Amino acid sequence: MNLKATQRETVGNGASRVLRREGKIPAILYGPKTEPVKLTIDKMDLEPIFKTGAVAQKLLKLDIEGIDGTTNVMVKEIQKHPVSHNLLHLDLYQVSMDQKIKVMVPVVTTGKSAGVEMGGMLQIIRRELEVFCLPDQIPEKIVIDITDLDVGDSFHVEELQLEGDIEVPAEVNFTILTILSTKVEEEAAEGEEEEELAEEGAETTEEPSAE
């Protein structure tokens, strides 16, 4: 996706508020081989990017007014107002197409597990995973088929089979998702135990009838 920007000289909170009132968003571009560049981006130009979701995964071609050519960038950080959630500032990171980067990718499931069919409950522990790949190979999502998972089964990071030259830099084989037994079953079992205990107590405390 393409993104246009202009260089700015003004800095500080006051200048940034003026820009936002004018429908513009202050931003900064930086990277391992570039000096930080202060930018201004029209808010209207950002709307198509934000509407598609997963902003931090998108590779953008940045066109800076007055500079020939485009720069490959990704959104590194988004600052929003804590109450209104209005966009306040963007950090853009310049990437090289031949160097791998780390990026967070959402986890989604497909199929319906045997355990869920039997009344179990799917618990997704990691809804995002950090992957290490080239900028043009960033997956939109990581799909896990849970069809064969039964109650008590779990899916771990080492079980992932990712296409292309994509890695998950995990130091431990952590759990991504698991199938739990439902609370209803647990409560029912506890209720049956309590009834059995109550009946046993009634039998032991019952007084003999007079003959």
| All structural domains of the chain | 2-94 (2.40.240.10), 101-185 (2.170.120.20)
Mean pLDDT of the chain: 85
- pLDDT digit string (tens) for 138-155? 998 999 999 999 999 999
User: Which of 87, 56, 59, 91 has its CA nearest to residue 73?
Assistant: 59
First-to-last C-alpha distance (Å) of the chain: 94
The whole-number pLDDT of residue 194 equals: 57
Look at residue 121 in the predicted model and tell me its pLDDT: 94
Interstrand relation of 87-94 and 24-31 (parallel, antiparallel or unpaired): parallel
pTM of the model: 0.71
Work out the percent of the chain whose per-residue pLDDT is above 70: 86
- Give pLDDT tens digits for 27-42: 999 988 788 999 999 9
Is the pLDDT at 90 greater than 90? The verdict is: yes
Single out the residue of 105, 116, 122, 111 nearest to residue 53, CA to CA: 105
pLDDT band at 9 (very low <50, low <70, confident <90, very high): confident
Within a 13 Å sphere around the CA of 168, how many CA atoms are in the beta-carbon half?
23
pLDDT of residue 183: 59
| pLDDT for 208 | 39
Residue 196 confidence (pLDDT) above 70: no
135 pLDDT above the threshold of 80: yes
The residue to which tokens 């989604």 are assigned: 108
Q: What pLDDT sits at residue 210?
A: 41
3-state DSSP percent of the chain in helix, strand and coil, to 5:
25, 40, 35
Which residues are within 8 A (CB) of 197 and not within 5 positions of it... i.e. 6 or more apart? none
Share of the chain above pLDDT 90, in %: 51
Give yes or no for residue 55 having a pLDDT over 50: yes
Amino acid 188: pLDDT: 46
Does the pLDDT of residue 168 top 50, yes or no? yes
- Judge contact between 50 and 60, C-beta under 8 A: no
Q: Give the mean pLDDT of 90-98.
A: 92
Identify the CA nearest to 145 among candidates 103, 172, 167, 116: 116
Q: Which of 53-67, 84-98, 108-122, 149-163 has the lowest mean pLDDT?
A: 53-67
pLDDT at 190 over 60: no
The pLDDT of 6-26, averaged and rounded, is 87
The answer for residues whose C-beta is within 8 angstroms of residue 206's C-beta and 6 or more apart is none
